[in-house]
Amino acid sequence: MKILVAVNPVQRSVAVLDLAAMLARSADAELIVAAVLPVGWQPLARRTDGEWLGHLGESADVVLDHAASVLAGLKASFVQRSAKSAHRGIVDLIEEHSPDIVVVGSSSSGAIGRIAIGSVNGALLHASPVPVAIAPRGFRAGASVRIRRLTAAYGGSDAARDLVISAARVAADIGSRLRLASFAVGPEGSVTAGVGLEAERDIAEEWIRMMDESVDEVLSEVSEMVGAPQLDDAVVGVGDSWAHAMDDVTWTPEDVLVIGSSSLGPVARVFVGSNATKVLRSSPVPAIVVPRGGLR
């Protein structure tokens, strides 16, 4: 198994490396750590941007050296790549090395402890042919931490069912447990309608009952699989915001969330739907976004 790790060439970040290491330890995989640099601007015949490119190259060296020290003990190779844009460089590397998963960090402008989508990981979320793992800002995993539990975000659709099945296979492969989690933000309700301010609580209860039924079906399907992973109780999170809904369930440092692509997106590419994006942005644990067709 191969894991491509895309690091920011001008900023040392431990979060993405810790996540990559955690995945590599869990799946016994080999790491390819890549720093994607911009290409020079061809029309500038006199190479007036040479110094800048040289500086970036040196910076990338520093970042990759740092990565090597963090990933010491794991099988890893390090590459620099020039491309017109960071995400295009990453997609090129995916095509070249055909990794099983690509690991990226959060945008640097987000809340600590949550996943932040920026331009690079955002573009990958709409173009990657392989699953994308994203570390929350400031994510840390100890030197021996493995994935103990995969939490599959389950929304009740057929695509979500397929995701659960493929997450179950992966969980079985890496020896982790599997948990199903459904999240919802209750509708706002209305203060002046005269039907009580708790009308939406009834809606939430009905939704939970509905999810329970559908989760039971999926879980029985999973447990009939050959070599089914150990299953945890399915959970639901309801809140007045996605962050509250996510915090409504318990998370451990050994959890990883698995989210499926929208059924509206192009086939076999990662494409995150609107609710999935909100779940992703509010995730307190690393998340793996899987294209339709599933994890390999």
Partner 1 sequence: MTMLREQLLRRKPTAAGGEDYGLKRSIGLFALTMIGVGATIGTGIFYVLSSAVPTAGPAVIWSFVIGGAVAGVTALCYAELAGAVPVSGSTYSYAYATLGEAPAMGVAACLLLEYGVSTAGVAVGWSQYVNELLDNLFGWRIPPELSNAPEQGGILNLPAVIVIVLCALLLLRGTGESAVVNAVMVVVKLGVLVFFVAVALTGWNADHFADFAPAGFQGIVAGAGIIFFSFVGLDAVSTAGGEAKNPKRNLPIAIVLALVIVVTAYVVVAITAVGAQAPEQFDGQTAGLSVILESIIGASWPGTIVAAGAVISIFSVTLVVLYGQTRILFAMSRDGMVPPVFSKLNPRTLAPGRNTMIVAAVVSVLAAVVPINFLLEMTSIGTLVAFLVVSVAVIILRRREPDIERGFTLPLHPLIPILSILGCIWIITQLRPITIVVFAIWTVAFLVFYWFYGRTHSALARPAGSGPDVPFTSTIRNAPEGKR
Instruction: Kindly list the distances between the CA atom of residue 33 and the CA atoms of 7, 10, 85, 141, 210, in Å, as whole numbers in the listed order.
Output: 7, 14, 17, 18, 43
Residues numbered 29-58 forming contacts with partner 1, rule: CB under 8 A: none
Q: Are 134 and 121 in contact (CB under 8 A)?
A: yes
Minimum Å gap between C-beta 245 and partner 1 is: 8
| Residue of 150, 143, 140 lying closest to 105 (CA atoms) | 140
Binding mask 258-287 toward partner 1 (x if CB under 8 A, else -) reads -----------------x------------
Q: Which of 201, 216, 217, 266 binds partner 1 (CB under 8 A)?
A: 201
Count of residues that bind partner 1 according to CB under 8 A: 40
| Residue of 188, 150, 186 lying closest to 171 (CA atoms) | 150
- Helix crossing, 14-27 with 158-174: angle to 10°? 70
Q: Based on CB atoms, which residue is closest to partner 1, 135 or 211? A: 211
Tell me the CA end-to-end span of the chain in Å, nearest whole number.
10
Q: Which of 207, 232, 251, 263 binds partner 1 (CB under 8 A)?
A: 207
Minimum Å gap between C-beta 153 and partner 1 is: 12
Minimum Å gap between C-beta 237 and partner 1 is: 9
Q: Based on CB atoms, which residue is closest to partner 1, 60 or 245? A: 245
Q: Based on CB atoms, which residue is closest to partner 1, 68 or 235? A: 235
Q: Which of 46, 51, 69, 194 binds partner 1 (CB under 8 A)?
A: 194
Q: Are 13 and 105 in contact (CB under 8 A)?
A: yes
Q: Which of 185, 246, 289, 295 binds partner 1 (CB under 8 A)?
A: 185
Asked if 110 touches partner 1 (CB under 8 A), the answer is no
Q: Which of 93, 211, 215, 270 binds partner 1 (CB under 8 A)?
A: 211
> 257: which 2 tokens?
């969330």
In 10 A of CB 62, how many CB atoms? 13
Instruction: Kindly list the distances between the CA atom of residue 65 and the CA atoms of 31, 54, 60, 68, 112, in Å, as whole numbers in the listed order.
Output: 14, 17, 8, 5, 25
Query: Buried b vs exposed e over 103-115: b needs ≥16 C-beta within 10 Å?
Result: bbbbbeebeeebb
Segment near partner 1 (CB under 8 A); pick from 23-31, 38-46, 118-126, 186-194: 186-194
Whole-angstrom Cα distance, residue 64 to residue 33?
Answer: 8
Instruction: Specify the 3-state DSSP secondary structure of 21.
Output: helix
Segment near partner 1 (CB under 8 A); pick from 49-57, 61-69, 93-101, 189-197: 189-197
Minimum Å gap between C-beta 163 and partner 1 is: 14
Binding mask 224-263 toward partner 1 (x if CB under 8 A, else -) reads ------------x-xxxx--xx--x---------------
> Applying CB under 8 A, which residues contact partner 1?
155-157, 184-208, 210-211, 214, 236, 238-241, 244-245, 248, 275
